[in-house]
Amino acid sequence: MKNLKRQWKFIVVLIAGAVGLISQFALHSKSLFSIGNLQFPVHAIIIDIIGILMAISLLLEIFHDWKTGRYGVDILAVIAVVSTILIGDVWAEWMILVMMTGGETLEDYATGQANKELRALLDKTPRIANKLVDGKITEVKVDDLQVGDTVLIKPGQQVPVDGQIVKGTSSFDQSSLTGESVPVTKNPGDELMSGSVNGDVAVEMKVTKAAKDSEYQSIVALVKSSQAQPAKFVKMADRYAIPFTVISLIIGGVAWAVSGDATRFAEVMVVASPCPLLIAAPVALVSGMSSMSAHHIIVKSGPTLEKLARAKTFAFDKTGTLTENQLIVDQVVTDDKSFDQKELQSLAASVEQQSSHVIASSLVKATDKDLIHPVTNLKETTAQGVEGDVDGKHVKVGKLSFVAPGHEKLNVTSTAVYVSVDGKFAGYITLKDKMRPESPKTIERLRRQGAEDIMMLTGDHKQVAEKVAKEAGITDVRSELLPSQKIQAIKDVPKHLRPVVMTGDGVNDAPSLTAADVGIAMGAKGATAASESADAVIMVNDISKVNDAVAISKHTMKVANIDVLTAIGVVIIIELIAFTGVIPAFWGAILQEVVDMITISLGLLAKTKPSDKQFGLEEK
């Protein structure tokens, strides 16, 4: 609504100028009345009315800002507008209004995408559940489920609310909630989280929490809460507001005192109009956002660039962010001298080749096709493993308790499948997340770009997380976290290590992305809850784009600061010239336009390529 109001202000000013031009030059408008030496023709009345309304509107905004402790340069705009009204310089007044409202509109364009609704997250929220009543299935709204109800969860369906399995065993994909890269087997008595996805077997679940209290719906509430309480951030131009305002008022006041003519004060105030300051940062930020887009990064707001440029802490999700969300074979450990590693993997992959489980498919994919042999008498035991005959040998692959009872004391901390051949334990194969090839280099470059702390926030197991973190070059590892704990980890970052940038994907990352000062989503797979709630979205499957985002942001803010300071310097020089009385108000407004053009030209330099140092390609 605020953005729409600003756009209408700009449109109204343009219309007033067009009507004023027609009235003055086409219709030869005459003065309706005069006060002293001031004449009030139709075009002047029209523009003065708009100017007064704009000044009142600005004063109300200034008063509101003062109450919240924020001081901007808008007070100079009000003084400039009022001054031109008092000295009767209509077109100088109109130019000030154009640049003032035009700068606001341009700024709104740069930030207009910041408040998108989380359509993807809300669309995926479970709405219908299969309630069991006297053995019959009845479809009910999820919100109508009561604690104690029994629900049937079919293969491939989302768990509608938090509950406990009372019948059946199946694997559940919890990656979107906890970040675990491998589906988790759930047995009767185990807890289920809403939003997790059932595997291949239908189960019955007793409801333990109402929809509003369940995990998935809590994530939705967390995201909404984070959006409703955006982090406070001072716009760059406002940092120079007080000194620039004081300097301009002193020059104008001294000019008035020395000359004894109030017109001199008005002339200084016209050239002191903060239009260049108001437009410098937005132009640079829009240029920076355009540069981001060219690098396949969508940035939703200008302040995101400001915060990225100053970021000191970077947090990463593991699964699908630092890793490719794909398992690869880590170790093949044999327990029988009759088999070497190559043969053990061949037997295991041969038995697993018809399974759709993520571990099975990853193992098969990691095995040479020539080593995968036909399997007969294939049998699968739900949530336990598979067995079959390969080259005359009976092979069992799966959980240790299924494959080799009595070996339960074997301590393997990684994701693993166990293998027995002809009833004898033969060994095991461990799998690990496949690291993105660019992840270690990305972390190294972030440190070169000024990152003081880099941490991993994941819901995966400690041993798995630490292994991935070590490979990526991250020492600060937080594992086994739920979404709310990720948010707390971000909130706990001390002030001197802020702003915090969080990068992730998946539903489980949405709250932490909104809780961070800057949230970056890996959105190559399309619109997700993460990309909807993030401040920036990487549209290609490349984590090193985080480096590009930082580099472009640093370059953009360097250009923006140079632009603002140049505008201030040039304006103050013109103010000093106006101090002498050689620049009438109208020509002062024209000079303002020249300064604006210089400001815009400098701001467009943000589209140029950042330096290698800003990209983190040079050693410090």
Cα–Cα distance, 427 to 400 (Å, whole number): 10
Per the annotation, the verdict on 162 as an active-site residue is no
How many Cα atoms within 13 Å fall on the side-chain side of residue 377? 10
Cα–Cα distance, 543 to 545 (Å, whole number): 5
Determine contact, residues 314/499, Cβ cutoff 8 Å. Answer: no
What order do you get walking across the sheet with 453-457 strand by strand? 297-299, 536-538, 518-522, 500-504, 313-316, 453-457, 476-478
Phi, psi for 594 (deg, rounded to 5): -65, -45
CA distances from 320 to 176, 316, 519, 530 (A): 10, 10, 15, 12
Say whether the peptide bond before residue 274 is cis (omega within 30 degrees of 0): no
Determine contact, residues 128/153, Cβ cutoff 8 Å. Answer: no
Catalytic pick among 317, 460, 505, 542: 317
How many Cα atoms within 13 Å fall on the side-chain side of residue 29? 18
Virtual torsion, Cα 82, 87, 89, 92, nearest 10 deg = -40
- Coil, helix or strand at residue 452: coil
CB < 8 Å & 24+ apart, contacts of 343-349: 344/419, 344/426, 344/427, 344/429, 345/371, 345/429, 346/371, 346/372, 346/373, 347/390, 347/391, 347/393, 347/395, 347/419, 347/421, 347/426, 348/395, 348/397, 348/417, 348/419, 348/429
Dihedral sign computed on CA atoms, order 145, 146, 147, 150? negative
Catalytic residues: 317
